[in-house]
Structure 1
């Protein structure tokens, strides 16, 4: 057999994402290039690795076994590369982080300088909702996770990164008079929710339950960005984290609507399993965060204080 490491990487990504298109996007390759490499890899085995039914790609049982073997091979290759670089006095390795979706507005600012100072470090970030972040922690698939609500069922260590505040947002075109009842905003106007499993949705539902509002019109969207665009378009209102709407507030495209009980304040936490043996890269990053987080906050998030009294 003459399969290459490149083919193993491509096949592993296809298995992970169950899609040639998604694999090509993540690997920064064209779809035809990925398809050709998959075919060349398949040609070396007498048993099918994948099957296509309709437009859906499925990985066979044999393909799953080959994917597991590919994963082991690639990890050994990475280990050889990291050991070589460590003997050269360079910090190297893979840093794997899972982030709640709104955390995409936070996490890059706590990584940029560290990665710039340590160019041999490989970074992998999975941005998803809270329930999937917790799952990746449970399965020990990541070094750290960024969350705004601490998972209760896991034994975790944590570092508090920065505050997270949630406000009621509406489009700039919505006129709110002094006569407008805030209850009516929740009970008579469309409310835009994140999907089930989102920490932002849970916070929103908790606020509504405490105020005993009876929501009649509900729209559900799958990402914070989608919710923001819907609010901008005037489809409805939503309770959203301040951290993701800096430009929209600056340009007066969105307005914060004062409501008793809001904003809600939580924190962003960097968490990891207490039982996890952190790699040298993960330990170095942890020390970096502890030492530099205040200056990183001052540099990139000082604008948040402008809305403390809203």
Structure 2
């Protein structure tokens, strides 16, 4: 066997894209160059790695097994490179984090100093809905995920970063004259704005309504925290929202907190990862950084939350 690391990288990309053309594009190579690398690797095996039916490329069962082995080899080589640089005092590599959409108000503050301290690190961060965040975590595609409500079907470890408070909010024209907390019947009389299915914010809101025996009058269901905010500001209804994304609107009085029995609901922003995960040097360094600095980051950047 004389296969090269480059051949394994090319073959792995082919198995991921199921296309010579797409693999060439993502690797910034020509199609002939990719085809030659695939042929050179194939020549070392008696069993086909791929097959073409019609115009579609398929990876054989044997090819999929080789791809798994190739990924492990590539990961080990990367670890050697990272450890070599770390021994020299230079931390290098990728830090991959998946973040639920509302987490975009949180995670930058817990990354900024770490990235400034380690210029050799490349940050790959995906801000998306919770369903995709959990999927990327389950598939071991990321080092960490940031969520407020961890999934209960995965074996996980976690590090709490800060509290996540959820309040009932409306626009400045909807604040009740009576300053007493609104009762459960209030929710049945007003239009409510929800996040999409699967959102941790919607889960929390539905839990509150269910615990208080409230049949909701849902007017809108929107797919982002920003969209819900703008709908509330415009006077389309009320919502139970995380305080973390409302700082500017509260300061400008575009949105007001409406006292309600049983609110705020409090969860925690957590950095989570698969239990037993073999962390890269970069991921391990980031976790160490978080554990050492999270409290000072919270005090410096989020102390305003304590006033609510």
Q: How high is the TM-score relative to the length of structure 1?
A: 0.74
TM-superposed CA distance for 1:64, in Å, is 8.6
* Cα distance in 2, alignment partners of residues 197 and 64 from structure 1: 33
Q: 2:209 maps to what in 1?
A: 208
Q: 2:121 maps to what in 1?
A: 121
* Cα distance in 2, alignment partners of residues 289 and 139 from structure 1: 24
Q: 1:242 maps to what in 2?
A: 243
* Cα distance in 1, alignment partners of residues 29 and 290 from structure 2: 42
Change (3 A) 1:271 1:217: closer
Q: 1:24 maps to what in 2?
A: none
Change (3 A) 1:109 1:216: same
Alignment length (residue pairs): 264
* Cα distance in 1, alignment partners of residues 94 and 78 from structure 2: 9
TM-superposed CA distance for 1:190, in Å, is 1.5
* Cα distance in 1, alignment partners of residues 87 and 292 from structure 2: 26
- SS at 1:301 equivalent: helix
Q: 2:190 maps to what in 1?
A: 189
Q: Larger Cα Rg: Structure 1 or Structure 2?
A: 2
TM-superposed CA distance for 1:87, in Å, is 5.9
Q: 1:296 maps to what in 2?
A: 297
* Cα distance in 2, alignment partners of residues 216 and 283 from structure 1: 46
* Cα distance in 2, alignment partners of residues 179 and 300 from structure 1: 30
Q: 1:30 maps to what in 2?
A: none
Change (3 A) 1:91 1:63: farther
Which residue among 56, 59, 62 is the counterpart of 2:57? 62
Per mean C-alpha deviation after superposition, the further-off stretch among 262-271 and 144-153 is: 144-153
Gaps of 5+ in 2: 1-9, 36-54, 61-65
Gaps of 5+ in 1: 1-7, 17-33, 47-59
- SS at 1:236 equivalent: coil
Per mean C-alpha deviation after superposition, the further-off stretch among 88-97 and 72-81 is: 72-81
Determine if the alignment matches structure 1 residue 154 to structure 2 residue 154: yes
Q: 1:305 maps to what in 2?
A: 306
TM-superposed CA distance for 1:249, in Å, is 0.5
- SS at 1:299 equivalent: helix
* Cα distance in 1, alignment partners of residues 137 and 156 from structure 2: 9
* Cα RMSD for the two superposed structures: 3.3
